[in-house]
């Protein structure tokens, strides 16, 4: 599909963010109605995010700028247990204080890209 009716898919296509999509026509139709909500989760294993997270952050930004509401999920089980994720060893288990400090640093990153006020203000949990 090359002609989109929704601002969301038009913007994503213009920026080269779309490669494959399941039921593209249905997504475009639903996105045209507005009010989409999308979420992405991030571990709090470091005081900031690395450049590999930028595409996901920008997807949330485009969603918000086209009327959707982004949800940022921070922390969770993998931060606490040190998920190895195909590595040779587990990440070190962090203290609750260290996780909170990392979360505060990551929140500052999102404040640069997302608006947390208004009718479609981003939500961070």
Confidence band of 75 (pLDDT split at 50, 70, 90): confident
Q: With contact defined as beta carbons under 8 Å apart, do 109 and 49 qualify? A: yes
pLDDT recorded at residue 85: 62
- Domains plus CATH for the chain? 1-34 (no CATH), 35-124 (3.40.50.620)
pLDDT recorded at residue 93: 80
Q: Which helix (H) or strand (E) holds 111?
A: helix 96-111
- Tokens in use for 85? 């994720």
pLDDT in tens, 1-55: 579 999 999 999 999 999 999 999 999 999 999 999 999 999 888 899 989 899 9
C-alpha closest to that of 31 among 71, 65, 72 = 65
- Tokens in use for 68? 């959707």
Q: Give the position of tokens 């599909």.
A: 1
User: Structure pTM?
Assistant: 0.85
pLDDT recorded at residue 92: 75
Q: With contact defined as beta carbons under 8 Å apart, do 7 and 62 qualify? A: no
């Amino acid at each position: 599909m090359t002609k989109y009716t929704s601002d969301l898919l038009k913007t994503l296509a213009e920026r080269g963010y779309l490669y494959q999509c399941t039921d593209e026509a249905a997504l475009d139709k639903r996105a045209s109605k507005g009010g989409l909500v999308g979420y992405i989760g991030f571990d709090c294993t470091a005081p900031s995010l690395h450049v590999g997270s930028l595409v996901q952050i920008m997807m949330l930004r485009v969603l918000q700028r086209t009327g959707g509401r982004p949800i940022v999920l921070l922390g969770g089980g993998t931060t606490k247990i040190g998920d190895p994720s195909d590595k040779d060893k587990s990440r070190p288990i962090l203290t609750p204080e260290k996780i909170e400090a990392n979360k505060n640093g990551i929140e500052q990153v999102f404040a640069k890209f997302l608006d947390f006020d208004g009718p479609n203000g981003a939500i961070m949990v």
